Amino acid sequence: MSFANGRHYLAIPGPSVIPDPVLQAMQRPAPNIYTGELVELTHGLVPDLKTIAGTQQHVGMYISNGHGLWEAALTNILSRGDKILVCLTGEFGVGWADVATQLGAQVQTLDFGKKSPIDPAQVEQALRADTGHDIKAVLVTHVDTATSLRNDIDGVRKAIDAAGHPALYAVDCVASMGCERFEMDAWGVDVAIAASQKGLMTPAGMGFIWVSDKALEVGQSANMRTPYWDWNLRTNPVHLYEFFGGTPPTQHLYGLRKAVDMMLEEGLDNIFARHAALAGAYWAAADVWAQGGDLVLNVPDAQHRSHAVTALKLNEPDGTRLRDWLTEHMGITLGIPLGMAPWDTDEWHGYFRIGHMGYFNAQMVLGVIGAIETAFIALDIPHGAGGARAAAKFLASKSGQTLAPTDASACCSD
């Protein structure tokens, strides 16, 4: 028998759950694009998007998903043949590096594997070795959504500075923006990208780029630049059509406005603390399950785990069995693995991911944890008993606290 009827929960790392107020804000006839509310609303998003990324510099918007923003970031700063350094901690870094290669960049990679974050010392070493300053940009993924590793963005900046290297610093924040603390200006990031359907709680279809003064200036000579992705007008628009290089994403803008309002009302510090605490509840449950079975949290050190996504592994094919059973019987869909094993191998069926980004709360997390435990029992998957209890205890211990801004490793590493 299935218990899935009711609201389905897509607990994957994007697209994330869309809040009802966001859906309702989008439900409207085509708005006037020449004058009035939509024009003001779009201009009004600019300062708020900067606040979310911790910057007072520039922001541009695109009708695009995250893949498009990879291209936007690269074409605005590079010329064909330029050398770049890409730090890899999972499949999303690999994807960005591939795009750079296809665009004609010369890509040097530093691969940190799938279980440990970027080591800034190795970045410093690679940049020191580049005595001619041929490397034009350093690319980093803040949270690699495939492995659920979170990288130290401030630490890599310090490594670039320690090497005295002038390369631009570009960061993929698609999985982390609006979920994890990100301080573009304080951390000296030159280019940051995000998409609407993850922490920003809006349907897929909009992408964002934040740009430093330095990147805007250095990028003027980039010969990879193409008319659609050119960020010059988009970061400095006067008319509505200049924001998007054409027709604006009308309904999306209303949805995004509502989502951003909800975020600012909750407060960024509270959002980051909520993500950290609820991620900690998942890890508390997983630690107990692991004690009596074969479950593995992909990132061993909690300090390096994302608060927006958790990658896990069971013995194959139990990852796939678990996901299928949850969808059919519990009304919950978990994320498929990406890049942990080739998709056509048996091994692939061991891995799975849980998305915990954006619009979600304790009852959703406890529902997923309880449902996973139910699946373990129903499918006879060996596991330590008491995962749900451990998550409950963890959240109970946090509930009395004032949720202070955290570098949530402090919040949830126990």
Ligand X SMILES: *Cc1c(COP(=O)(O)O)cnc(C)c1O
Residues in contact with ligand X by the rule CB under 6 A: 14, 65-67, 92, 141, 145, 172, 174-175, 195, 204
Q: How far is the CB of 370 from ligand X (least distance, A)?
A: 27
Q: How far is the CB of 118 from ligand X (least distance, A)?
A: 14
Report strand pairing: 9-11 vs 332-334.
Answer: parallel
Q: How far is the CB of 39 from ligand X (least distance, A)?
A: 26
| CB nearer to ligand X: pick between 189 and 284 | 189
Neighbours of 61 (CB within 10 A): 24
Residue 363's Cβ-count burial label (10 Å; 0-12, 13-18, 19+) is exposed
* Residues of each annotated binding site for substrate: 353
> What letter would DSSP give residue 328?
I
Q: Are 255 and 364 in contact (CB under 8 A)?
A: no
Q: How far is the CB of 65 from ligand X (least distance, A)?
A: 3
Residue type at position 393:
K
Nearest CA-CA partner of 169 in 224, 117, 123, 125: 123
| CB nearer to ligand X: pick between 195 and 285 | 195
Q: What is the 3-state secondary structure (H, E, C) of 72-98?
A: HHHHCCCCCCCEEEEEECCHHHHHHHH
Q: Which residue is nearest to ligand X (CB)?
A: 66
Q: For 129-236, where are the E strands, in sequence order? A: 135-141, 143-144, 149-150, 168-172, 191-195, 206-211
Give 395's contacts (C-beta < 8 A, 6+ positions apart). Answer: 277, 278, 281, 362, 366
Q: How far is the CB of 289 from ligand X (least distance, A)?
A: 25
| CB nearer to ligand X: pick between 175 and 240 | 175
Report strand pairing: 168-172 vs 135-141.
Answer: parallel
| CB nearer to ligand X: pick between 66 and 337 | 66
Q: How far is the CB of 359 from ligand X (least distance, A)?
A: 16
Nearest CA-CA partner of 341 in 322, 323, 325, 319: 319
- In degrees and rounded to multiples of 5, residue 274 shows phi and psi of -65, -45
Nearest CA-CA partner of 193 in 68, 328, 43: 68
| CB nearer to ligand X: pick between 91 and 190 | 91
Q: How far is the CB of 199 from ligand X (least distance, A)?
A: 10
| CB nearer to ligand X: pick between 98 and 328 | 98
| CB nearer to ligand X: pick between 97 and 375 | 97
Q: How far is the CB of 231 from ligand X (least distance, A)?
A: 18
| CB nearer to ligand X: pick between 67 and 214 | 67
**Helix locations, 163-247, DSSP H:** 213-218, 231-234, 240-244
